[in-house]
Amino acid sequence: MKAFFFSRVTMLVVLTGLLVLLSNTSAVACAACWNPAGSDKMNHAATVGIFAMVVIMFAMLGAVAGFGWYLSYRAKHPLPDYDELLSEEPRPTQPGNCPLIA
């Protein structure tokens, strides 16, 4: 079993190295990387896009932190027991004295 695993890993490493050596195309960057001092509109759009992603990221992290704070607050200040809430006697209403009709 060990020899099979070793031969399989070796074959995978050799195949990966062969594919890397045979690929003759290089990575080509986008137009913004080739000409960073290019159009001001593209630079401004990239800046606004990055700022929007940062704002969204901080909003989501703030929401997660706020939910964690809420859970810790509820753990320290639990609601009263259900039986305690039911033990409170409601006010008796007089006939003809409906509290819903004003």
Distance CA 28, CA 61 (A): 34
Distance of CA 19 to CAs 7, 26, 29, 50, Å? 18, 13, 21, 35
Q: What is the pLDDT of residue 79?
A: 77
Instruction: Enumerate the domain spans of the chain.
Output: 38-80
Q: What is the pLDDT of residue 36?
A: 60
- Written as tens digits, the pLDDT of the chain (102 aa) is 566 666 888 889 989 888 888 876 666 666 666 666 667 787 788 889 999 999 999 999 999 999 999 999 999 988 777 666 666 666 556 666 665 554
Q: What is the pLDDT of residue 64?
A: 97
In the chain, alpha helices (H): 2-22, 31-34, 40-76, 82-87
Q: What is the pLDDT of residue 10?
A: 87
Q: What is the pLDDT of residue 22?
A: 81
